[in-house]
Structure 1
Amino acid sequence: MAQFALTATRRWAGAPLALRIAVIYLAARVVTTAMMIAAATQSTSLSRFGAEPGLADFIVGWDAQWYWLVAEEGYPSSLPLTESGEVAENAWAFMPVFAFAAKAVGFVFGSWGMGAFLLSFVAGYFACLALHRLLRDRIGARATMWSVVFFASGPIAAMFQVGYAETLFLLLLFLALDATVRRNYVWLYLLIPVMAFTRPGILAFALYLGLHGILRWWRRRDDPLAPREIVHIVALGVLATITGFSWQVIAGFVTGDPGAYLATELAWRRNWLVGGVEGFVPFEGWIQASQFWFAQWGLPGAWGPVALALLVVAAGAALLYLPQLRALGPDLRLWSASYLLYLLAVFFPQSSTFRLLLPLSPAWGALAVPRSRAWRLGVLAVCLLGQWLWIYHIYALGNTFWQVP
């Protein structure tokens, strides 16, 4: 038996990397599928999906419906209004790349849902490959492979199999981060515009490029910074900033309302706040949410901002001093800081927070750094437990305000 195990281990280690990652990824997808089938059997008439839904219903459920609508009908030229005259939820909150790419893939099968599934599924596999490339020179081969296992099996792994833009964005993001770290800046001229119209978040990448440029300038004596690289970094930062705001400009131009995009995004936030929303104020969402959630939990709302401040300080300290995160290198920590600051500025944290944290996936490498097998298996167990809880609450139940993916 020991000889058999040793032979199997050697064969596994000698197999092509793409094949090993494919095996891990497909195994993770089998587990996720089993969980979704189990959730379907427990769904009732009280769930958003009704009694006895199929996997196809989950694929096109929740926000996938909006991407589907974009692919079939495009974007409204006038903003829909609620009975009280406020801007209602509408398709302008969803970027076009995933919607139309899924339509193109699904054309062969006569089904947008099939196209969305295949696009998410395949992009997820290539995202695993890209994540491995991004981490392998920093934390070692074994830790990197465990990072891929955690990523493919994480609490929000259902995104690899449903009609959301997340996995496509992650693939583009990992490629962009890898290109930046390796100083292959030319690739970013292609990746940045596609990222910008796939999912919100490119402004965080613009901030990251700025911090990356500052870091390179600071270290220019030990790490020479060529003039052409300065030009690339500045130009790419400008490109990311322009494309980051361009969707707002396009929405305003088509609808005739300069504030169309922000009003659309605030339509979702309005569902959470009884007093309504006057307008967008950077960083206000987290303060409002901290008070909201503390009140929901029966705690004084005034404690919310205090807890939020402690959370921000803890996150900053972890990025600066935690050895496992420091092992990822400065660029990946700068990206994490940039994206967290972006979320802090624009987001209203609620049940979708876990999904919106997916761009921090390179941080799985930090959890894979400890070499203890018990630790790594424990992290995997927590990932799978979290995945089941998320799938159960979002797809089997999905009938109250905090059960939205």
Structure 2
Amino acid sequence: MAHGILTSGIRHWVRLPIVGRIAVVYLLARLVTTGFLLLASQVSTVQSRFGFDPDLRSFVLGWDAQWYWWVAENGYPSVLPLTADGQVGENAWAFMPVYAYLAKWVGFGDWGAGALFISLLAGYLACLMLHRLLHARIGSRQALWAVAFFASGPLAALFQVGYAEALFTLLLLIALDLASRHRYPLLYLVIPVMGFTRPGILAFALYLGLHGILRWMRRHEQPLPARHIVHIVALGALATVVGFSWQVVAAVVTGDPAAYLKTELSWRRNWLADPNPEFIPFEGFVRGAEFWAGQAGLAAWIGWIGLVVVVAGAVLLLLRAPQVRRLGADIRLWSASYLLYLLAVFFPQSSTLRLLMPLTPLWGALAVPRQRWFRGLMLGLCLLAQWLWILSMYGLAQTFWQVP
């Protein structure tokens, strides 16, 4: 009897269209995440940021979700707030408007409900797009495993809280799919929305440049029509303009040409006692390497060596790892572009893991091996990492050291 039930279940699973199979995987993953969030609420104490026994809505509206809600309700400040020492303080200009206002509109005024709906729906659609992006490269079954890793991974709680990551990842996967299929005209619509959802569009501009160079180098093997050249150049220019336009908007509204950069640097002062008042590309990770080495009681030069090792390891993985090479040039070029962007503009701290979510296509590399034990192990590690992340960021969220 058990064999018959199992056989029948497998038969029904195989007959289920891919959108249905992904829906089942996504729904099961969301149930697990909900269970983890409920467990986190049980371990939350009065010392936690969320207090004793918070409900799930508190988690949805926690941390940066409060900033998006503030934007939706109050807009952006025309006068930058200042700290006691005259520096620009943390403010809403660090958060892009699309997710903030869309959540209020979708929720009919209930921002939390709208934010949760958008994150949940965008997460499912991102899973569909991830499968679409990967199945021609690694096979449909492997692509479905990549979806399972993504839906159950360390950052899976972002599908159920008021953060813009799920929506941005959906838009990014759409953009990568369009570019890799050379369907450039639709990107004129996607790029501006993506650029005003969260930071990262400048990395996409770099990717488009590398994509264009690669197509030019391969033009004798693969035709490169003149209209494609025009589209690639125009789209790269559009992504660049969109990437810098938020700085211009902030400057015009506040009257301070450096309003946006000063706002972003205000968060860095939570970590460094003597941060540079001016933005210098790549300085964040250099200072971060020194900072974290110091926290471990080590010399600054050890932190620098650690940074070089991490960067070299990432380069080798993208260039040499067979599983990563299976994903194709476009995914590797995007991954390299985004990692370079992170190195140039961010300071490594507790939010760094969340900032890696745009590297979602790389889940395909872990899905390439066909051994069942390996996939089972990876899925188990994904769930373990997800629980530890939720426990740290929501259950035991006591200090700025644990910001998601």
TM bracket, shorter-chain basis: over 0.9
Q: How far 1:111 moved relative to its partner?
A: 1.3
Match of 2:26 in 1: 25
Matches for 1:1-400 after TM superposition, within 5 Å: 1-107=2-108, 110-400=109-399
Report the CA distance between 1:400 and its aligned residue.
Answer: 2.1
For the Cα contact (< 8 Å) 1:324–1:367, is it kept in 2?
yes
Task: Name the CA distance, whole Å, in 2 between partners of 1:82 and 1:89.
Answer: 9
CA positional deviation for 1:3: 3.5
1:323-368 deviation digits (Å, cap 9, x = unpaired): 0000000110000000000000001010101100000000000000
Give the Å deviation of 1:19.
1.0
1: CA distance, partners of 2:401 / 2:21? 37
Q: How far, CA to CA, are the matches of 1:13 and 1:259 in structure 2?
A: 56
Q: Contact 1:43 / 1:397 at 8 angstroms: preserved in 2?
A: yes
Q: Distance in 2 between matches of 1:60 and 1:242?
A: 32
Q: Within 1, Cα distance between the matches of 2:40 and 2:300?
A: 34
Distance in 1, Cα, partners of 2:11 & 2:184: 38
Moved more, 202-211 or 295-304: 295-304
- Contact (CA 8 Å) 1:179, 1:187: kept in 2 or not? yes
Partner SS for 2:293? helix
Quote the offset at 1:297 in angstroms.
1.5
CA distance in 1, matches of 2:189, 2:382: 33
Letter in 2 for 1:284: E
In the alignment, structure 1 segments of 5+ residues that lack a partner are none
Contact 2:80 2:91 in 1 (8 A): yes
SS for the counterpart of 2:401 is: coil
Cα deviation, residue 306, structure 1: 1.0
TM-score by length of 1: 0.99
Q: What do the CA deviations read for 1:286-328 (whole angstroms, capped 9, x no partner)?
A: 0100111111112222211111011111110110000000000
**Matched position secondary structure for 2:143:** helix
> 1:80-127 deviations in whole A, cap 9, x for unaligned?
0001100000000000000000000111xx411011000101110000
Equivalents in 2 of 1:135, 1:270: separation in Å? 40
Instruction: Tell me by how many angstroms 1:278 deviates.
Output: 2.2
- For 1:14 and 1:273, how far apart are their aligned partners in 2? 56
Q: Tell me, in whole angstroms, the C-alpha distance in 1 between the residues paired with 2:372 and 2:345.
A: 39
Deviation at 1:259, TM superposition (A): 0.1
Q: Is the 8 A contact 2:38 2:56 kept in 1?
A: yes
Deviation, 1:59, is 0.2
SS of 1:89's partner is coil
Residues 48-85 of structure 1, C-alpha deviation per residue, up to 9 Å, x if partnerless? 01111110000000000000000000000010000110
Show CA shifts across 1:5-42 (max 9, x none): 22211210110111111111010000000000000011
* 3-12 vs 183-192, greater mean Cα deviation: 3-12
Conserved in 1, the CA contact under 8 Å of 2:187 and 2:235?
A: yes
C-alpha separation in 1, matches of 2:23 and 2:89: 42
The superposition leaves residues 381-405 of structure 1 with CA deviations (integer Å, 9 ceiling, x where unpaired) of 1100000000001111111232000
Instruction: Check the 8 A contact 2:265/2:277 in 1, yes or no.
Output: no
Please give the alpha-carbon distance, in whole angstroms, between the structure 1 residues aligned to 2:106 and 2:98: 12
Task: Write the distance in 1 (CA, Å) between the matches of 2:301 and 2:230.
Answer: 47
Assess if the C-alpha contact under 8 Å between 1:270 and 1:277 holds in 2: no
Distance 1:50 1:3 in 2: 50
Alignment RMSD (CA, Å): 0.7
State whether residues 136 and 144 of structure 1, in contact with CA within 8 Å, keep that contact through their aligned partners in structure 2: yes
Q: Report if aligned partners of 2:71, 2:97 keep a CA contact under 8 Å in 1.
A: yes
* Aligned equivalents of 1:321, 1:277: Cα separation in 2: 37
**Equivalent residues of 1:269, 1:277 under 8 A apart:** no
SS, match of residue 232 in structure 1 = helix
Percent identical among aligned pairs is 63
Which letter does structure 1 place at the counterpart of 2:165?
A: E
Alpha-carbon offset, residue 157 of structure 1:
0.5
| Residue identity in the other structure for 1:207 | L
Matched residue of 1:402: which SS?
helix
- TM-score, scaled relative to structure 2: 0.99
